[in-house]
Structure 1
Amino acid sequence: MTGYKEGIREALPIMVGYVPLGLAAGLLLKQAGLSVLQIGLMSMLVFGGSSQFATAALLMNEASFMDILLMIILLNSRQMLFTSSLAKYLKEAPLFKTLLLCQCTTDESYAMNMFQFEKAEKEEGQRSVDNGLWVACLTYTTWCVSTIVGALLGGIIAGPEAVMNYVLTAMFIGLLIPQLKTRLIVMIAGLSGLLALALAPFLPTGVNIMLCTLVSSYLGYWLEKRRMRHLRGKRRNL
C-alpha cells in the first residue's frame, strides 16, 4: 500500500489515545472472566471500544450470552452508517481493500478519513483508499495489541471487584463526556440515565441497557429529524 507516511501522521493521535483505553478494556475483560485468547479475538472481530466495555459490564453482572450478543450488534450497527458514507470515495477501490477498511473503521478513524477525503475533494487533490487504509489498519492494530497487553496485565493484577466496577463506571463517564457537544445529546444522555435508574429494580441489567439504548436512540433520531425539518422550513420562508 502507498501513502503510509500520511497515514501514520494522521493515525498517530488516535493511536496514542487508544493505548490507555485498550489497556483498560483488556484489563476489565480479563477481570470479567475472559481469557487472553478470547479478548484478543474479540478485539480483532468485534473491534469496538464501547461494545467491549459494555461486555465487561454485562459479564460482571452475569448477563446471558444473548444479552451480550444483542448489545454488541446494537452498539456496532452504527458502523454501517459510517462506512456507507465513505462508499462514494471507494468506488474504484478493489473489493478486498474496501472490506478491510470497513472492518478496521471506528468512530475516530472514520472521522479522520472523512475529513481528509472531503478536504482532498474540495481542494481538488487526491487521496487514495490506501491513505484511508493506513489510518484504519494502524488504529486497529494499536487497539488489538493494547487490549491483549491489558489482558496479560489483568492476569497479574487482580483488582477487587468493587474497584473494578468503579474503574468501569469511570471509563464509561470518560467515553461519554467528549460526546456531550450539543444540548440535544446532553438531554438524550440524561433521559437515558434516568430511564435506566427507573427500570433497574424491575429488569435484568442486560435487558435494561438494551431497552434504554433503543429508546434513547429512537428519541434522538426523532428529535434530530424534527429539528432538521424545522430548519428547512425556516430556510424556505427566508
Structure 2
Amino acid sequence: MIKTALKTSLPILFGFVPLGIAFGLLFQELNYPWYFASLMGIVVYAGAAQFMAIGLLAAGVGLFEMAMSTFLLNSRHMFYGIAFLESFGNWNLRKLYMIFGLTDETYALMTSINVPKGFNKKKYFFFITLFAQIYWVLGCTIGALSSEILSFNTEGMEFAATALFVVLLIEQWIMVKRLLPFMIGFIASFIALMFFIDHMLIVAIIISIGSILIFRLVNKSHYE
C-alpha cells in the first residue's frame, strides 16, 4: 500500500518540491535560520499562506492580522473537507492530521483516483497526505539551505503549480467524463476573475457549489 500511495502521489512531488524551493529561497531573505522554513512547512503547511507570510513578516504585521489573513485565504478548505468527512474515518489523530494536511492538490488527487481493491481507503488517503507534506517540507528545506550557498532566480517557478493543476484536471476528466462540472467551474472562475479578482478563489468555489446545488434541485424536481 505504501509503495502504491507513493507512486500515486508523484504528481504532487513534481509540483510541491519546486514551489517549496522557491518559498525557502524567498523566506531566507528575511534572515531567519534556515530551519524556520522547514518548520513552517511542518506546522503551517499552506503554500499560498506561507508565501503571503513572507510579505507580512517583512512588513511587520501583527500576529492577529496574520492569523486572520491566513484563515480567510484558506477558508476554501472548509468546502473541501465536507467531501471527506466519512472517507477520513473515525475521529482520531489520523483523521485530525488528514484534515490538517488537506490541500488543493491532495483534494484534487484523492477525488480523481480509484482506491486499489483490497486497500484500506482511510490508510491509503493517509499515506498520500503524508507523502504530499513530506514533498513540501523537502522543497522548503532545499530552498532554505540553497540560499546560503548560491543565488537563484525564482522567476517562473510559480508555473509548477499551474502545470500540476493541469495534470490533476486531466485526471479528473478521465475519472468523471462529464462536461457539466468542468463548464460550471470554468464559468464560475471567469465571473470571479472579472468581478471579484481580490477574492477570486473563494467566490468561484461559492458560485460553483451554488450552481451544482441548483442543477441537482432542478433535476430532482424534474424526475418527481
Alignment TM-score, normalising by the size of structure 1: 0.69
Q: Which residue of 1 aligns with 2:64?
A: 66
Name the CA distance, whole Å, in 2 between partners of 1:94 and 1:232.
30
Q: Spell out the pairing of 1:66-105 with structure 2 (5 A cutoff).
A: 66-91=64-89, 93=90, 95-105=92-102
Residue 135 of structure 1 corresponds to: 128
* 1:152 paired residue number: 145
The answer to whether 1:227 aligns with 2:211 is yes
Whether 2:27 is the aligned partner of 1:29: answer yes
Q: Distance in 2 between matches of 1:228 and 1:94?
A: 29
Alignment equivalent of 1:53, drawn from 39, 51, 57: 51
Tell me the amino acid that sits aligned with residue 147 of structure 2: G
1:147-177 per-residue CA deviation (whole Å, 9 max, x = no partner) reads 0110112233457xxx77xx4xx56676579
Aligned length: 204
Q: In structure 2, do the counterparts of structure 1 residues 157 and 191 end up closer, same or farther at CA, with 3 Å as the change threshold? A: farther
- Does the 8 A contact of 1:101 with 1:136 survive in 2? yes
Give the Å deviation of 1:46.
0.9
Q: What do you get for the CA RMSD once the two structures are aligned? A: 3.3
What is the alpha-carbon distance in structure 2 between the residues aligned to residue 105 and residue 26 of structure 1? 21
Q: Does 1:111 align with 2:95?
A: no
Preserved CA contact (<8 Å) 1:40 1:147: yes
Structure 1 residue 141, shift from structure 2 partner: 0.8
Q: Give aligned-pair identity as a percent.
A: 21
The whole-number CA distance in structure 2 between the counterparts of 1:229 and 1:96 is 32
CA 110–10 in structure 1, closer or farther in 2 if over 3 Å, else same = same
- Note the residue ranges of structure 1 that are not aligned, 5 or more in a row: 194-211
- Secondary structure of 2:112's partner? helix
